């Protein structure tokens, strides 16, 4: 029997600003949370021209499975002539991207305001699903 307590899947609030979907990724993005997050991001990148922003500022940890989720979402968005942008102010996350050869692959922004999204991008009620 394992002494490791099971974690509940983190809640990732989603809100829409114009044609842009903003998803706040919270907590740990790892092998235990990758499958449900992949399904969620796949649903958000299904249509033509998806414009997806992943706000990583509340993310505490990411492993290689989590990086795979981000790469999959990026590839799906680009394949559908859309875009994926990441919001992070974490130097550590940027170092991880550099260490694994993903520096320059993602469009990174330090804040939501740096994206020139409408002010409601931060204040709008989250649509959950």
Here the tokens at position 126 are 């989250």
User: What is the mean pLDDT, run by run of 10 residues, along the chain of 129 residues?
Assistant: 54 91 97 97 97 97 98 98 97 96 96 75 45
Here the tokens at position 5 are 């307590």
Q: Domain coordinates of the chain in residue numbers?
A: 14-115
- The answer to whether the CB of 86 falls within 8 A of the CB of 109 is yes
Q: 14-115 domain in CATH 3.30.565.10? A: no
For the entire predicted model, the pTM comes to 0.84
């Amino acid at each position: 029997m394992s002494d490791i307590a099971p974690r509940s899947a983190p809640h990732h609030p989603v809100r829409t600003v114009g044609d842009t979907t903003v998803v706040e990724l919270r907590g740990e993005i790892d092998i235990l949370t990758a499958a449900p997050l992949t399904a969620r991001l796949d649903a958000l990148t299904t249509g033509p021209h998806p414009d997806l922003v992943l706000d990583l500022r509340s993310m505490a940890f990411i492993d290689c499975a989590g990086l795979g989720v981000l790469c999959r979402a990026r590839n799906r968005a680009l394949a559908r002539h859309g875009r994926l942008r990441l919001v992070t102010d974490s130097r550590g996350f940027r170092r991880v991207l550099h260490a694994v050869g993903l520096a320059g692959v993602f469009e990174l922004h330090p804040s939501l305001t740096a994206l020139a999204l409408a002010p409601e991008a931060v204040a709008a009620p989250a649509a959950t699903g």
